[in-house]
Amino acid sequence: MTPASQRIELVCPAGSLPALKTAIDNGADCVYLGFKDATNARNFTGLNFDARQMREGVDYAHARKRKVLLALNTYPQSANWADWTAAVDRAAALGIDAVILADPGLMAYAAKTHPQLRLHLSVQGSATSYEAIAWYHERFGIQRAVLPRVLSLAQVEKVIANSPVEIEVFGFGGLCVMVEGRCALSAYATGESPNCNGACSPGKHVRWEQTPRGMETRLNGILIDRFGANERAGYPTLCKGRFEVNDETYYAIEEPTSLNTLEMLPELARVGVSAIKIEGRQRSPAYVAQVTRVWRAALDRLALDPASFRAQPAWMAELNKVSEGQSHTLGAYYRPWK
């Protein structure tokens, strides 16, 4: 359990070295990142870190007394087990501040081989109860758990009150209708599991095509969306596509919107949240800068005067500019009946 008076850490995404430096320069307490391979759940071309970039990024953060968290949050298979254990070894050698893991076998390896390495339970682990979190803590020594975005605030409070580890929650960014990235839709369409291969809608299956009816986006040949001349053609993911249902075309599975809990900060602090995570390793350094600045200002304001904290309209406006669909939601956190 984390005392409510403890300072909340701001954990920001770093899909590249420029994004890492931008996050640090704009006030992130921690950045989270991944290697350029399938060991992380954002395994997209052009993202993530090679050995030189990772060394430079860790040095840059540590020189400014900030932390680096490494996402090794996909699930290895028997044929590639050595790639995942080698990633844990590299993390330890680099002096990474914590490794974010989902697979229990990999946790066992890390705990046994590198007992000094701090372990965090990934949101991909889908631990929604304090009993599950306690099991990971007792068995593998995890020191923080990232909660899935399916719990109400009352449920988050109960988990924190009974958990032996720090609790991190998502504060801002994209949402997913699947079980925290376990995308059966993408796996069905492409034959590649995001939780094993590290990418929802892998780039090699994505196509944009200008047609007389508009810009069409496809995933492995499946039409995901068609955009008009003045619409931005988004990346094709099945959950956020527009489909024809009963002669009506609309977002049949999920409306594009972003989670934004800025107005809930006093409540998140009260229940004892240790860290707020910003989603978006696939987003640009400009996105990272804009979101990090707003959340740094908000957390600093909260620390100065919790009783009078209010989410400023200017902050909300800035965040809406980079939200999916230019709109936001409190998601599962706010359930009036809970």
Binding-site sequence positions for [4Fe-4S] cluster = 176, 183, 200, 239
Alpha helix stretches (DSSP H) within the chain? 17-25, 51-63, 81-94, 104-113, 130-140, 153-162, 184-190, 194-197, 265-271, 285-304, 313-321
Strands (E), 65-122: 67-72, 98-101, 119-121
What is the DSSP secondary structure assignment for residue 7, as one 8-state letter?
P
Q: Which letter does DSSP use for residue 8 in this model?
A: P
Query: How does strand 119-121 pair with strand 144-146?
Result: parallel
Quick one: DSSP state of residue 198? S
First-to-last alpha carbon distance for the chain, in angstroms, is: 22
- Count of CA atoms in the C-beta half-sphere (13 A) of 297: 16
Residue 120 CA to chain centroid, in angstroms?
A: 13
Binding-site residues, in ranges, read 176, 183, 200, 239
